[in-house]
Structure 1
Amino acid sequence: MSTATPHVQKPGWITVNVVNRAMAFLTRRGLSIRGSRVMAVRGRKTGEWRTTPVNPLTVGAERYLVAARGHVQWTHNMRVAGGGELHLGKKTEEFTAIEVADDDKVPVLRAYITLWKAELGAFFQGVTPDSSDEELRRIAPDHPVFRITTKAA
């Protein structure tokens, strides 16, 4: 069993207090920026709803949530809750989530880094959209990925 600390890149003050709050504010009012949503997931200890702005990614016919910053609070909560809600304005989508195995993350991580390299590329340890599959597999354990399925209304 590994005793290594999971990879986490904590957001800076500007991200937490300006960027995330601005994104959440706009998304709550129905303005999606590049697919943004406010995700709500139940806390693993309290059971209370926790929210964070996210950008679901579509690859083929599947949708994913990628944790660019690593094993953060929402990823721990998602593992326990198994799903949550995505909010855009007054629209709410309930979803279930299944964590993707490290070996299956390569195409998802490549698509995510391609789309978000300018904003989030620094969190992927020098891996770019042009990196080899082996390089993407190397960073896969540091970036949780969840396949999400919207529940039927």
Structure 2
Amino acid sequence: MTESTTRYLRPRRGTNALQKTLVGGLARLGVSVRGAHQLVVRGRNSGQWHSTPVFPLRHAGSRYLVAPRGHTQWVRNLRVAGEGTLRVGRGSRTFSATELADEEKPAILRAYLTRWPETRSLFPGVHRDSTEASLRESAAGLPVFRITLTS
């Protein structure tokens, strides 16, 4: 694998804990901050359930999960499991996931950056007004999954 396909942007110290505690905790209580959901996915090695806050994107009639930090643990787990659950409060929806090919990602990345412009620091050298070529170049390091709700 090349560096771009194994990209992982480690959160600054305390950022991950704050996000999981605050945003994830609120989603567990039923308060979705800027569209946040709790992603629950089975661990690829342990088989135990893991959760993390995510921001599902609706675009052109489909739903997507974008991993702006790259190949994180939840991405690796979802690749193996192929399915997960999105929760907000007591509500939960299970889904199947299909990872997109790099050439399918630019439109999704642009929509994600338009919906959550505050995340642009997580995207290497691109923003919502970037050219298709720039978005395509960054796509290899940014996992994107199309999710299909099953319940």
Q: Deviations over 1:16-52 (max 9, x none)?
A: 2222210011100000112110000000001110100
- Quick one: distance in 2 between partners of 1:12 and 1:124? 15
Deviating above 4 A after TM superposition, structure 1's stretches of 4 or more consecutive aligned residues are none
What corresponds to 1:133 in structure 2? 132
Q: Which amino acid aligns with 1:87?
A: R
What corresponds to 2:117 in structure 1? 117
- Quick one: distance in 1 between partners of 2:12 and 2:129? 28
The alignment's TM-score, normalised by the length of structure 1, stands at: 0.94
The alignment's TM-score, normalised by the length of structure 2, stands at: 0.95
Q: Deviations over 1:114-143 (max 9, x none)?
A: 12222x111111211111000000000010
Residue segments in structure 1 that go unaligned for 5+ positions in a row: none
Task: Determine if contact 2:32/2:88 at 8 Å carries over to the other structure.
Answer: yes
SS at structure 2 position matched to 1:135: helix
What corresponds to 2:70 in structure 1? 70
Task: Determine if contact 2:19/2:53 at 8 Å carries over to the other structure.
Answer: no
Please state how far the C-alpha of 1:3 moved relative to its aligned partner: 5.0
Identity of aligned residues (%): 43
- Quick one: distance in 1 between partners of 2:20 and 2:12? 11
Length, aligned pairs only: 150
Residue segments in structure 2 that go unaligned for 5+ positions in a row: none
What corresponds to 2:9 in structure 1? 9
Please state how far the C-alpha of 1:11 moved relative to its aligned partner: 1.1
What corresponds to 1:20 in structure 2? 20
What corresponds to 1:151 in structure 2? 150
Task: Determine if contact 2:38/2:86 at 8 Å carries over to the other structure.
Answer: yes
- Quick one: distance in 1 between partners of 2:48 and 2:123? 31
- Quick one: distance in 2 between partners of 1:133 and 1:11? 27
